């Protein structure tokens, strides 16, 4: 069920990011910090944005041996992020270790999502390079079920796969979907896109980058996106 719009803060520096966020004087949007900004500015940028009152999805897509992921997740949970993620390809054991690391001494923890197959991976690449013989929908559904069995809260997926995930894992298992464009907009490099209104049925959160960050009036674009997604 449509819950909120998350703005992808795909900026190279803290200065540009904070300048962008300064425009939002009313509601503080939920934001996503990805590898580019995190690797450039480190944990300090997470703390700064958190202190400004935003909820944060830290999109670092962890994938390593279970013990390493567990320890890394412990660090991220101490940063007080609200949502973070990993690759389901890391196996159920890795996902379970991640959840353990993420859980704070008081029992609370950030939302943990799994990436199934990246939307940039084609079915042909999956067959020929990853040697996965199943189809893309079968793979996405199986990885989502693994994530659910490990105790995760949901997956990041294409809005076109969200229905399949809900049908496989149940309505309560979250779908967080990038690849969102306004009806009249250009696609950029996203191939499989959906409008905020259409995404509403099967996405719990939509992640929106350039349609908001590159808009002439980002605050207006954000508000339009929220009203189309939530109403
Ligand atoms: O600018 P745009 O709306 O395309 O940004 C989408 C955001 O979601 C980017 O930060 C991108 O890295 C991320 N993302 C994606 N597709 C995925 C996973 C993450 O577009 N499968």
Query: What is the whole-number distance in angstroms between the Cα of residue 156 and the centre of ligand 1?
Result: 10
The pLDDT value recorded for residue 150 is: 98
Summarize the confidence of residues 110-136 as an average pLDDT.
Answer: 94
Residues β-bridged to residue 194: 180
Kindly report, residue by residue over 144-173, the tens digit of the pLDDT. 999 999 999 999 999 999 999 999 999 999
The pLDDT value recorded for residue 191 is: 76
From atom 20 of ligand 1, which residue's Cα is the shortest distance away? Answer: 178
In sequence order, the 6+-apart residues with CB closer than 8 A to the CB of 85 are: 57, 58, 59, 60, 61, 62, 112, 113, 114, 115, 156
The pLDDT value recorded for residue 185 is: 86
Cα–Cα distance for residue pair 45/203, rounded to 1 Å: 28
Residue 217 has pLDDT above 90, yes or no: yes
Residue 192 has pLDDT above 80, yes or no: no
Where are the extended beta strands (E) located within 72-146? 83-87, 111-115
Summarize the confidence of residues 95-120 as an average pLDDT.
Answer: 96
Q: Measuring from each residue's beta carbon to the nearest atom of ligand 1, which residues come in under 6 Å? A: 8, 10, 34, 118-119, 156, 178-179, 188, 190, 207-211
Query: What is the whole-number distance in angstroms between the Cα of residue 110 and the centre of ligand 1?
Result: 20
Determine how many CB atoms are found less than 10 A away from the CB of residue 93: 12
Q: What is the percent of the chain with per-residue pLDDT over 70, rounded to a whole number?
A: 100
Q: Which of 131, 70, 79, 58 is nearest to 102 (CA)?
A: 70
**169 and 200 Cβ atoms separated by less than 8 Å:** no
Kindly report, residue by residue over 35-64, the tens digit of the pLDDT. 999 999 999 999 999 999 999 999 999 999
Average pLDDT over all residues of the chain: 96
Residue 189 has pLDDT above 90, yes or no: no
Cα–Cα distance for residue pair 185/116, rounded to 1 Å: 27
Query: What is the whole-number distance in angstroms between the Cα of residue 143 and the centre of ligand 1?
Result: 20
Q: Give the three-class secondary structure for 59.
A: strand
Determine how many CB atoms are found less than 10 A away from the CB of residue 22: 9
Q: What is the percent of the chain with per-residue pLDDT over 90, rounded to a whole number?
A: 92
Catalytic residues: 61
Summarize the confidence of residues 23-43 as an average pLDDT.
Answer: 96
In sequence order, the 6+-apart residues with CB closer than 8 A to the CB of 8 are: 31, 32, 34, 59, 178, 207, 208, 209, 213
Which of 6, 8, 121 to mutate to test ligand 1, by most ligand atoms within 8 A of the CB atom? 8
From atom 21 of ligand 1, which residue's Cα is the shortest distance away? Answer: 119
Put residue 105 in one of left, alpha, beta given phi > 0 → left and psi -120 to 50 → alpha. alpha
Cα–Cα distance for residue pair 188/72, rounded to 1 Å: 33
Q: Give the three-class secondary structure for 190.
A: coil
The pLDDT value recorded for residue 187 is: 78
The pLDDT value recorded for residue 212 is: 98
Kindly report, residue by residue over 68-105, the tens digit of the pLDDT. 999 999 999 999 999 999 999 999 999 999 999 999 99
Residue 31 has pLDDT above 80, yes or no: yes
Where are the extended beta strands (E) located within 54-143? 56-62, 83-87, 111-115
Query: What is the whole-number distance in angstroms between the Cα of residue 44 and the centre of ligand 1?
Result: 23
The pLDDT value recorded for residue 67 is: 98
Summarize the confidence of residues 201-225 as an average pLDDT.
Answer: 97
Q: Give the three-class secondary structure for 87.
A: strand
Domains of the chain, each with CATH number or no CATH = 4-230 (3.20.20.70)
Summarize the confidence of residues 178-203 as an average pLDDT.
Answer: 90
């Amino acid at each position: 069920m449509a819950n909120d719009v998350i703005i992808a803060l795909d900026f190279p520096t803290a200065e540009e990011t904070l300048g962008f966020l300064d425009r939002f004087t009313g509601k503080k949007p939920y934001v996503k910090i990805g590898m580019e900004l995190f690797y450039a500015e480190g944990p300090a940028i997470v703390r700064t944005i958190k202190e400004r009152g935003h909820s944060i999805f830290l999109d670092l897509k962890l994938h390593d041996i279970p013990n390493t992921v567990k320890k890394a997740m412990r660090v991220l949970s101490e940063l007080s992020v609200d949502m973070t993620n990993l690759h389901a390809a890391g196996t159920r054991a890795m996902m379970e270790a991640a959840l353990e690391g993420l859980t704070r001494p008081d029992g609370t923890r950030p939302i943990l999502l799994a990436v199934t197959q990246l939307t940039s991976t084609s079915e042909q690449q999956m067959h020929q390079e990853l040697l996965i013989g199943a189809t893309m929908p079968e793979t996405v559904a199986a990885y989502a079920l693994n994530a659910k069995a490990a105790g995760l809260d949901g997956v990041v997926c294409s809005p076109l796969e969200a229905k399949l995930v809900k049908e496989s894992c149940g309505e309560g298992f979250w779908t967080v979907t990038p690849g969102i464009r306004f009806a009249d907009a250009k696609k950029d490099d996203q191939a499989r896109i959906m409008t905020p209104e259409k995404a509403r049925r099967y996405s719990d959160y939509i992640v929106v980058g350039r349609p908001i960050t590159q808009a002439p009036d980002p605050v207006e674009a954000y508000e339009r996106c929220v009203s189309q997604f939530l109403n």
